Amino acid sequence: MRKYYLIMTTDPPPAYMVQDMEEQIKCAKKAGFVIKKPTLRIMRPPFAHNTPHGFAYMDENLIILIPYASYEILAHELGHIVDAQTGREGPLFDHIRDLELQAFANAIRDIILNECKPVFPSPAGN
């Protein structure tokens, strides 16, 4: 019933958000995380007023964002999904395993964003 309500109060994401999520999942995998692609939905305007920019429904493998959520917010919510899917098991989590929920998601966000850094050629051409 809850997932039905969540789907009914949200819309499909714009193409750029889907692309951002796919890019971040690739970066997470490059960092060594195993992640199953979550469902991404966007809150409808009347429900998005005065709410946090994103929610991860870890048991539903579902991320819901407000329409103008940033790239960083998406990476944070993916951190919660990594938490739910892995149970913090494995050597990748040795230094962050004991963090509280939000701090853990922030740590995963930072790892994802570090892997997703664009590589620009140096001005000197080196």
Instruction: Give the model confidence (pLDDT) of 54-74 as tens digits.
Output: 899 999 999 999 998 999 999
Backbone angles phi, psi at 42, to 5 degrees: -115, 130
The pTM score is: 0.86
Percent of the chain past pLDDT 70, that is, above it, reads: 87
Question: Helix, strand, or coil here: 15?
Answer: helix
**Segment 27-41, tens digit of pLDDT:** 999 999 989 999 999
- Distances in Å between the Cα of 15 and the Cα atoms of 18, 21, 38, 40, 93 are 5, 10, 15, 11, 32
Amino acid at 22: E
Cβ-based burial of 36 (10 A; exposed 0-12, middle 13-18, buried ≥19):
exposed
Q: Is 13 a residue whose pLDDT tops 80?
A: yes
Domains of the chain by start residue, with CATH: 2-115 (1.10.10)
Give the length of the chain.
Answer: 126
For residue 9, the model assigns a pLDDT of: 80
- Angle CA(53)–CA(54)–CA(55) in degrees, nearest 5? 145
